[in-house]
Structure 1
C-alpha cells in the first residue's frame, strides 16, 4: 500500500508487473492505494470455478445416492459461464465478471471493471448496488 496513487501506478506497478511476469503471478489493483500480488492460478474466478466444481460433485453424489441409476451426465455440472451471477467493482473482479453467466458492475466500479461486465448498476456498493442487482437479476424486480 502507498498513500500516493500516482506513484503506485507509475513507479511501483511497473516493477511489480515485471516480477509477476518472471514468476507467473498476477498484479491487480482493487483500490487506488493498493496493489495485490497473486500467485499463479489464484483469482476470484479460480475460486468460483473450484466452488462450482465442488458443488457439482455434491449435487451428483446426492442425485446418484437417491436413485439406482448412475448419472454421468454433464448436465449436472455447475459452470461459471452458465450458472453464476458475479458482482464486482474493481480490477480484481474483471476476469470473473467476463466469464460469469451474468457479470454486474457496481455504479462506482472502475472503468475496466465496468467494461468487463454485462451490466452496470446505477447504485454503488455503498448504496445497496449488490442488493439491487440481486433483486433485478434473481427476482426480476426493481
Structure 2
C-alpha cells in the first residue's frame, strides 16, 4: 500500500514491482517507511493507493466499499485502487468552483477518461468521456469524444467553444 502525505509519497517497499512501475511513470521517488510507525507519528494521510492485478483490485474495492461506506474508494485504473476521505471527490471540487464563480453545475463541462472521473462526469451539466475511457465510464457520460491520442480534448473544446 502506498500513502500520500502532502507532497510526499510513502511506501513500505521501494523495490516492489508496482512501486517501481509508478516511479517510472511519475518520475517521483518515494520515501520508504512502515505503515504502523508512520501512523503512530500521527501523519495526515490524504490518499492511499493500492496496486495489484485487476481481479485482486476488484475484490478489494468491493470489500472496502462494504466495510467503509463513508470513504471515497474508486479505481483510477484497473490495477489501481484509491482510498480517500469521503469528502474528497472531483464533484466536490466542482461544487467549490460553483460557489467561487457563482455558477451552477449545468454551466459546467467535465471531461474525464477513467473511473476516478465518474462522479464528476455525472455531476456536471455536460459530462464528456474520452474515447479511451473504459466502457463503464463512457456509459455514464453525456457524450464521448475522441481518445487522448486523437486530441479528444481539443476536439470537444472546439465543438463547444468555437
TM (norm. structure 2) is 0.64
Q: Name the residue aligned to 1:126.
A: 149
Please give the secondary structure, in 1, of the residue aligned with 2:133: coil
Q: Considering fraction of residues, name the structure with more strand.
A: 2
Over aligned residues, Cα RMSD in angstroms? 1.5
Q: Structure 1 unaligned segments of length 5 or more: list them.
A: 57-77
- Residue in structure 2 matching 1:27, options 59, 73, 79: 73
Which residue in the other structure is 2:29 paired with?
Answer: none
Other-structure match for 1:75: none
Alpha-carbon shift at residue 13 of structure 1 (Å): 1.8
How far is the alpha carbon of 1:30 from its aligned partner? 1.2
CA contact (8 A) 2:113 2:129 kept: yes
Structure 1 distance, partners of 2:63, 2:122, is 27
Partner of 2:118: 94
Aligned equivalents of 1:138 and 1:6: distance in 2?
41
Could you tell me which residue of structure 1 aligns to residue 64 of structure 2? 16
- The alignment of Structure 1 onto Structure 2 pairs a total of residues equal to 113
The 2-side partners of 1:3 and 1:92 are apart by: 17
Query: Larger Rg: 1 or 2?
Result: 1
Q: Is 2:115–2:137's contact at 8 Å kept on the other side of the alignment?
A: yes
Give the equivalent residue in structure 2 for 1:79: 104
Equivalent in the alignment of 1:40: 86
- Of residues 78, 95, 98, the one that matches 1:52 is 98
TM-score, structure 1 length as denominator? 0.72
Distance of 1:18 and 1:102 partners within structure 2? 30
* Alpha-carbon separation, structure 1, partners of 2:142 and 2:148: 17
> Residue 20 of structure 1: CA displacement?
2.2
Deviation track 1:89-120 (CA, whole Å, cap 9, x = no partner) reads 12221122122121111001112211111111
